[in-house]
Structure 1
């Protein structure tokens, strides 16, 4: 297809430039064409490779557009997948960026992994950002929550004059929940909240109301008094539970890989020895059902009953029997 492009500058437009590769910018078909192109590439490159299974099915990649994650249980398998992907990618006219490529090992043994691209070693990291969320090698959400809170506070500071103005209090509260909380709670449906994480979130909630009412910490105003002034209760944790319940309900009613991953149907070696201390908290523990996953899944089949479990506006969320 004969495609040309011109760049618009302050002083005018440049001359026409021939496009030799890529898709047409702004065309509604461009994302579809690129997805088809990349799907053909990965299928040809990774056919027969991979050893990571979920529910008996080999999962080689997790991808969104050109953001690609390769998964393997063994270092040699991962190196073979990368070598093959580079080889086939060059046949398709695509190159892998070594600087943007990272490797992360999820294991109790923090030994580094040696993965090379064109004789250049890929950097080992303990966390990296994928699709806007921070993923860590220990599987905890603390780093992601802190990052989200920092982003939300920065957004609040940029519009501080609006949130602290003489607008109606209810309107300002709606603006904070709509624009600031949405930034802080991005991806909160998948969080596993520990006690320290809950404290961070509740502190952020009070930070918003104090900044909105121009109440300094040096004023020695208790949190309870601040909540009375803004006619609010501590709702941010309940909001997370409602979002998580809404999302988990959809997942539990479907038969998909995500459901099997939540159920722990991942093939691999099981460590018989148990570490000291109590077991780590799971994502579903935040929903408050102490009778186990089977009871939770049974409740999710009834949409009305499931919705009624989380319809309260505030306070702790406990699933009750009917």
Structure 2
């Protein structure tokens, strides 16, 4: 293990430095780092990652804007946007925990794509509803994220692996802690849960046919997670 290249980050509501020494050398504590192309933050939230992906998608749009000429059919242009632009913005969306603010950022980005594709300036005072009518679309970027997450989480829930244990928060040797004051933090599974909760979701995942009917198909740093 290279001590100079190894970093430590603790994910918690109130991150504190972690003391880990190797050969009497203290490992550096960091607040964020990129792992497999995704930005991880010590507070465990996805807002910075979502804003970063949206910025990268807008840059990709400017590089590919010649593809969205009005000479092409509308359906073809929409497919190009979802293929070249949305794929950049939604990279790693399967693991996102979307808060209300994050959902608004994504919906704003969705409308930004359709406005740029149709060359509608903000000075034209065209309402979002009118833009959606022109492109024959509905707001579905959040639905697309939910579908991607469902397809991924279905494979996790059908197997017995470490990722499943981490998602469920039932790792061996876990210490029971008292609940903090305030509202419970939103979890990744909350985006897929229904009124019957997690066990209903897991039951659907174990039945392949039922899962498809419900959701359809269309050396790194050391991380410590404090629940």
- Is the TM-score greater than 0.5? yes
Q: Distance in 1 between matches of 2:63 and 2:218?
A: 30
Specify which structure has the higher proportion of helix: 2
Conserved 8 A contact 1:194-1:281: yes
Counterpart CA distance in 1 for 2:137 and 2:145 is 16
Is it true that 1:213 corresponds to 2:118 in the alignment?
yes
Unaligned runs of 5+ in 2: none
Supply the distance in 1 between the matched residues of 2:125 and 2:225 (Cα, whole angstroms): 40
2:44 aligns to what? 139
- Contact kept? 1:288, 1:318, Cα under 8 Å: no
- The answer to whether the Cα contact below 8 Å between 1:245 and 1:287 also exists between their aligned partners in 2 is yes
Moved more, 219-228 or 256-265: 256-265
Distance 1:242 1:108, change over 3 A: closer
How far residue 99 of structure 1 moved from its aligned partner, in angstroms, is 5.3
Q: Which segment drifts farther, 204-213 or 104-113?
A: 104-113
Distance change in 2, residues 1:120/1:287 (3 Å): same
Distance 1:120 1:168 in 2: 61
Cα deviation for residue 311 of structure 1 reads: 3.8
Change beyond 3 A, Cα 1:318–1:285? farther
Q: What is the number of equivalent residue pairs in this alignment? A: 227
Mark the CA change 1:194 to 1:318 in structure 2 (over 3 Å): closer, same or farther. farther
1:169–1:230 contact (8 Å) kept in structure 2: yes
- Return closer, same or farther for 1:308/1:321 CA change in 2, 3 Å cut-off: farther
User: CA separation of 1:114/1:138 partners in 2, compared to 1, >3 Å: closer, same or farther?
Assistant: same
Gaps of 5+ in 1: 1-95
Pick the aligned partner of 1:252 from 154, 157, 161: 157
Structure-2 separation of matches of 1:226 and 1:315: 44
Distance (Å, rounded) in 1 between the aligned partners of 2:191 and 2:226 = 17
**1:123 Cα deviation (Å)?**
3.1
Q: 1:268 to 1:139 in 2, by over 3 A?
A: farther
Q: CA deviation at 1:121?
A: 4.8
In angstroms, what is the RMSD of aligned CA positions? 7.3
Task: Give how far 1:174 is off.
Answer: 0.2
Change (3 A) 1:101 1:165: farther
Q: Would the aligned equivalents of 1:103 and 1:113 in 2 still touch at CA under 8 Å?
A: yes
Question: How far off is 1:107 after superposition?
Answer: 3.5
Contact 1:205 1:234 in 2 (8 A): yes
Deviation of 1:165 after TM superposition, in Å, equals 4.4
8 A contact 2:9–2:222 mirrored in 1: no
The CA deviation at 1:262 is 1.6
Offset from partner CA, 1:220-244 (integer Å, 9 cap, x none) = 1110011001110001000011111
Contact 2:114 2:135 (8 Å CA) reproduced: yes
8 A contact 2:115–2:131 mirrored in 1: yes
The Cα shift of 1:271 comes to 5.7
- For residues 316 and 234 of structure 1, the distance between their equivalents in structure 2, rounded to whole angstroms, comes to 37
Highest Rg: 1 or 2? Answer: 1
* Bigger relative contact order (CA 8 A; separation at least 6): 2
Deviation, structure 1 residue 110: 3.1
Measure, in 1, the Cα distance between the counterparts of 2:220 and 2:150: 15
TM-score (norm 2): 0.87
1:230 aligns with 2:135: yes
